[in-house]
Amino acid sequence: MTAYDPDNIFAKILRGEIPSTRVYEDDDTLAFMDIMPRADGHLLVIPKTPCRNVLDATPEQLAAVMGTVQRLGHAVLKAFDADGVTIQQFNEAAGGQEVFHLHFHVLPRQEGDRLRPPGKMGDMEEIARQAEKIRSAI
């Protein structure tokens, strides 16, 4: 498998080299809003240490990330009064991965809704408002 690239966009977010709308962090993980949200409240959870995806992650990285995914799953349920939560994760380009630092998508869902199509920039002011709701619900 290709080596981890320390200049991927999420590594730059971790180092504070590019902006992000952070909602939660602990010693091992960071959660921030997706800038092309497929649902209101769409966020990403990443480990603070390098790995491309599930295929090269250590059990410790996976455990830390999943703990934060669960915590944020509860937070988005509460913040958006959602009926469910979709958790998505892609491995390598053929598996749908575009950014090669392990990340899990957390998407609050309402009964009967449809995810918006990928690749469309969100309204950053609206995303900031949604992030504040999530922070308050943690």
Q: Which residues bind ligand AMP (CB under 6 A)?
A: 9, 20, 34-36, 44, 90, 96-99, 103
Q: CA 132 to CA 94: how far, in whole Å?
A: 34
CB of 59 to ligand AMP, least distance (A): 21
Q: Which residues are catalytic?
A: 103
**For ligand AMP, which is the closer residue by CB, 43 or 75?**
43
Nearer to ligand AMP, 53 or 79 (CB): 53
Least distance from C-beta 84 to ligand AMP, angstroms?
Answer: 19
Q: Which residues of 12-40 are buried (b: 16+ CB within 10 A; e: fewer)?
A: ebbeeeeebbebbeeeebbbbbbeebbbb
Q: Using CB positions, name the residue nearest to ligand AMP.
A: 36
Minimum CB separation of residue 127 from ligand AMP in Å reads 9
The burial class, CB within 10 Å (0-12 / 13-18 / 19+), for 103 is buried
Q: What is the DSSP letter of 2?
A: P
